[in-house]
């Protein structure tokens, strides 16, 4: 039986594999919105910082980088729990050097994911 996929290219079998599911969502964001890079950062409660869990268009060097809460756009969003967009020519610490960066928090109740 052929698995049906939605407009994002995600099938029911992808839901059982969270990393594959997230990667497909990031690929869909990249394709449909024309972004160069997309990443899911997760909060590491043991270290108190953010780390990339899945990414597309991001170099291996960037994937290893940790982001302190309050640092750059992603860290600002993580520390405040509010979405933000910034001009990367004016704001350091983003995934790129030009254009803009957008970040939005994921939370479960009051806790940052």
36-78 confidence digits (pLDDT tens) = 888 999 999 999 999 999 999 899 998 999 999 999 889 999 9
**Within a domain: 73:** yes
Q: CA–CA separation, 93 vs 113, rounded Å?
A: 20
pLDDT at 62: 86
Give pLDDT tens digits for 9-41: 667 776 777 888 888 888 998 888 888 888 999
> Residue 91 belongs to a domain with what CATH number?
3.30.450.40
Token pair listed for 71:
């640092």
**Within a domain: 56:** yes
Q: What percent of the chain has pLDDT over 70?
A: 81
Number of domains within the chain:
1
Token pair listed for 81:
């729990």
The three-point CA angle 34-38-40 to 5° equals 150
**Within a domain: 35:** yes
Token pair listed for 111:
């806790």
**Within a domain: 113:** no
**Within a domain: 58:** yes
**Within a domain: 45:** yes
pLDDT at 47: 96
End-to-end CA gap in the chain: 35
**Within a domain: 4:** no
pLDDT at 92: 62
Domain encompassing residue 82? 12-106
Give the mean pLDDT of 91-110. Answer: 73
**Within a domain: 78:** yes
């Amino acid at each position: 039986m052929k698995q049906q996929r939605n407009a994002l290219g995600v099938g029911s079998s992808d839901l059982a594999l969270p990393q594959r599911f997230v990667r497909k969502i990031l690929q869909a964001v990249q394709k449909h919105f024309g972004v160069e890079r997309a990443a899911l950062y997760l909060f590491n409660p043991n270290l108190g910082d953010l780390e990339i869990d899945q990414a597309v268009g991001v170099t291996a060097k960037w994937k290893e980088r940790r982001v302190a809460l309050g640092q750059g756009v992603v860290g600002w969003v993580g520390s405040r729990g509010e979405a933000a967009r910034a001009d990367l020519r004016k704001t350091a610490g983003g995934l790129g050097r030009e254009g803009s960066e957008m970040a939005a928090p994921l939370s479960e109740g009051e806790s940052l994911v």
